[in-house]
Amino acid sequence: MITAGDFKNGITIEYDGKVCQIVEFQHVKPGKGAAFVRTKLKDIVNGGVVETSFRPTEKFPTAHIDRKDMTYLYNDGEMYNFMDVETYDQISLNADDIGDALKFVKENDIVKVCSHNGNVFAVEPPLFVELEISETEPGVAGNTATNATKPATVETGATVYVPLFVSTGDKIKIDTRTGEYLSRV
C-alpha cells in the first residue's frame, strides 16, 4: 500500500479497479483548508489520462507490472505467438492485445510482454530495429536541395519515409516509437 503523500512519477497503483501510472503529481497546501495531492493518472491498459485529487492520507495498493523478454515466433492469421526465452513456454495473443506494436518486428526478434496479474495488456518492441527495404521508388538525381523523403516498404510490410538516396535492398535503422528512419546500416 502507498499513501497519496508518497506519490512519485512512474509509480503504478490500482485506482477505481484500473491499473494506473502516476504521470504528474503536486502537493498543494492552500492557506485555508486541508492539504491535498493533485495528480494525473494514466490508465496503462487503454492509455486514457485522468486528473484527480486525493487527501495525503488516502491509501492505494501498488500494482506490479511484469515485463518479460519473449521471442516473437509467428502470426498464424488470427493469433500472434510468443515464447518465453527462459522457460520456453509459449503464449498466443490476439490482434486486439497487440495493436500495431509489431509492425517493425520480424519473426524471432525479442520483445517485452507486459502483464498485470497474469493478464497481458501490451507488447513493447525493441527501441531500434534494423530492417531491409523491400520496395521503394528510385530517387530523382539533383533533387537533394532539401530534406526530401520518399515512402519505402520494409520487410515487415510497414511504410517508412526515407531520404532519396536510400534504395531497394538497403538495410536501415528505424526508431520503433516514432516510426522514423534513423540511418543506413
- pLDDT band of residue 40 (cuts 50, 70, 90) is very high
pLDDT digits (tens, 9 = 90+) for 55-67: 999 999 998 888 8
Superfamily of domain 128-184: Nucleic acid-binding proteins (2.40.50.140)
pLDDT digits (tens, 9 = 90+) for 12-27: 899 988 889 899 999 9
At 141 the pLDDT is 63
Alpha carbon 31 to its chain's center: 41
Residue 140 has pLDDT above 70, yes or no: no
Span 49-75, average pLDDT: 91
Query: Which CATH number is 66-124's, of 2.40.50.140, 3.40.710.10, 2.60.40.420, 2.40.33.20?
Result: 2.40.50.140
Q: Where are the domains of the chain?
A: 2-60, 66-124, 128-184
User: CA 74, CA 107: separation in Å to the nearest integer?
Assistant: 6
CATH class of the 2-60 domain in this structure:
mainly beta
Domains 66-124 and 128-184 share a fold: yes
- pLDDT band of residue 144 (cuts 50, 70, 90) is low
**Overall pTM > 0.85:** no
Rank 94-98, 144-148, 169-173 by mean pLDDT and report only the highest. 169-173
Identify the DSSP state of 62.
B
User: CA 81, CA 135: separation in Å to the nearest integer?
Assistant: 27
CA atoms within 13 A on the CB side of 172: 30
